Amino acid sequence: MSRTPAAALTGLEKRVLYVAIVASFIAFLDGSVVNLALPAIGRELGGGLVVQQWVVDAYLLTLGALILVAGSLSDQFGRVRILQWGLAGFTATSVLCGLAWSGESLIVARGLQGVAGALLVPSSLALIVSVFSGPAQSAAIGKWSAWTSGAIIAAPLLGGISVDVFTWRVIFFLNIVPAVAVWPALRRLRTQDLARAPGSTIDVTGTVLAVIGLGGIVYAFIERGALGWGSPQVWLPLVLGVAGLAGFLLHERRTPAPMMPLRLFAIRNFGWGNIATAVIYGALNLGFFVLGLFLQQVAGLGATAAGFALLPSTLILLLLSARVGALSGRYGPRWFMTAGPLLCAAGFLMLLGIGLPLEYFSEAFPGLVIFGVGLAVTVAPLTAAILGAVHPEEAGIGSAVNNAVSRIAGLVTIAFAGLITGPMITTSGLHATAAVTAGLFIAGAVASAVGIRNPPPEAPEAPEAPEAGGADAASA
C-alpha cells in the first residue's frame, strides 16, 4: 500500500533520501564547479588551454562512458554496496585532485574522479525507487531532482567563492565533508540492499562495448572544438565509438543477460522520457554554460558575483521541486513535463532583452525566475515518469540510461556552443544561444505532450472482509 506524500517519513526513508541526495549532489556538482576556477588552475599549474579543457572533460569523459556500466553493477551487486565503493573512491580522488602538483596529475585524478562519480548517481536514485512507492516516491524524487539539478546551477557560485576567497584546491577538499558525514547512514542501509541472485552473471562484452562506444564519441566531441572534424584524432575515435555502440546494441539484442535490456525502450514513458531528457538537459547545459561566461567575460562580473546572479533559479528549484513531485505523483507527469519546458523557454526568451551595460534586475532576473519555476515543474515529473515505467529491480540501469542521456546531451550541446556564439562570447552570441536554448526546451515540451502518458490511478483498497459476527456487530 502506498501512503500519501504528506505522511511523515520513516527513519529508513529519511536515511535513504539523505544518502541519495548527498551522493548524487557531489557527483553532479563536480561536473561544472571547476569552470570558474580554470584561470586560477592555469596560472598555478600551467599547460595553457589544453590543460584547462581536459580538467573539465576528463571527468565528463569517464562519467559519461561508465555510467551505464555502473547502473548494471548497481543492479548486480546492490545499490548500497556500489554507493559505498563510489563514495570511497570519490573521496580519495577528490584528495588527489586537491593535492595535484601538475596539470597532468590533475587531469588523471579528474578522470578517476569521474569513474567514482559514475558509481554514485544511478545507485542513489535506484535506492529511492526501491524504498519509496506511489505518490511518496514522486515526492522523494522531487527532492532528489531539486538538489541534483540545483548542483548544476549552484556550481558557479561555489566555485567563484572558493577561487575569490580561498584557493581552487578548496573545491575538491570540500567533497570530504559530505562524504564523511553521510558514511554512517550509508552503512546502516546495507541490510536494505537489493541485488540479484549470486549466480547471475556480468555482461562483460556489453560493458567493454559500451565503454568503447560512449568513450569514443565523447572524446571526439571534446576534441572537435580544437582540432576540427578532419583531424584523425577526432574522426577515428568517432568511427570507433559509433562502431562500438552498434556492436553494443547488436550484442544486447542477442545476449540472454543484457546489461541494458533494449526492451526498456519499448516502454512508452521510458523511451519518450529519454527523448525529452536529451533536449531538455541539452538546453539546460548549453544555456547556463554561455550565460555564465557572458556574465564574466562580457558583462564584467566577478566569479562570485556571477554565481550569485544565477542563484535565483537554484532557490526556486529547491523550494518547489518536492511539492511539484508530489502533485505529479497525484495527477500524473504528462502535463507537468509539457508546461515546465515551455516556462523554461519563456525564461530564456526574456533574456533576449539583455544588453550592455547589464541591468540585472530588469533584464536578467525576471527571465531567471520564470526559468526556475519551469525547471522546478519539469525535473521531478520527468525523472519519476522514466523510473516509474521500469521494474524496481531494473531501477539502477534505468537511472543509468537516463543519466547517461542527460550527461551526453549536455556535452554535445556545449561542444557545439561555438557554432552558435561565434569564436568569442558577445551579446549577440548570448541572444542566439538563448533562442536556440528556448527552441530545445519547446522540443522537450512537444516530446512530453506527444509521448508521455499518465499512469492509471491506483485502485482504492477493498475493505477487509468482516469476521464472523462482524456484520451483526456493525449493524447493532
Does the pLDDT of residue 252 top 60, yes or no? yes
The pLDDT confidence band at residue 193, using thresholds 50, 70 and 90, is low
Give the type of residue at 85. W
Does the pLDDT of residue 341 top 70, yes or no? yes
Q: Which of 136-150, 164-178, 216-230, 440-454 has the highest mean pLDDT?
A: 440-454
Q: Are 65 and 211 in contact (CB under 8 A)?
A: yes
Interval 20-72: pLDDT, tens = 888 877 777 776 677 667 777 877 887 765 676 678 778 877 887 777 777 77
Please tell me the CATH code under which domain 11-192+259-455 is placed: 1.20.1250.20
| CA angle (310 as vertex; 307, 316 as ends), nearest 5 | 130
Q: Are 316 and 431 in contact (CB under 8 A)?
A: no
Q: Retrieve residue 404's grid coordinates.
A: 547517461
| CA angle (364 as vertex; 362, 370 as ends), nearest 5 | 100
Q: Retrieve residue 378's grid coordinates.
A: 519539469
Does the pLDDT of residue 163 top 90, yes or no? no
pLDDT for the residue 259: 72
pLDDT for the residue 153: 62
Percent of the chain with pLDDT strictly greater than 90: 21
Residues 270, 18: Cα–Cα separation, whole Å = 26
Nearest Cα to Cα of residue 292 among 36, 28, 27, 25: 36
pTM: 0.75
**What number is the average pLDDT over the span 345-358?**
93
Residues 63, 332: Cα–Cα separation, whole Å = 31
pLDDT for the residue 121: 76
| CA angle (96 as vertex; 90, 97 as ends), nearest 5 | 85
Residues 304, 284: Cα–Cα separation, whole Å = 21
* Interacting residues of 271 by C-beta distance below 8 A, sequence separation 6+: 264, 265, 451
Give residue for cell 562502431. Answer: 243
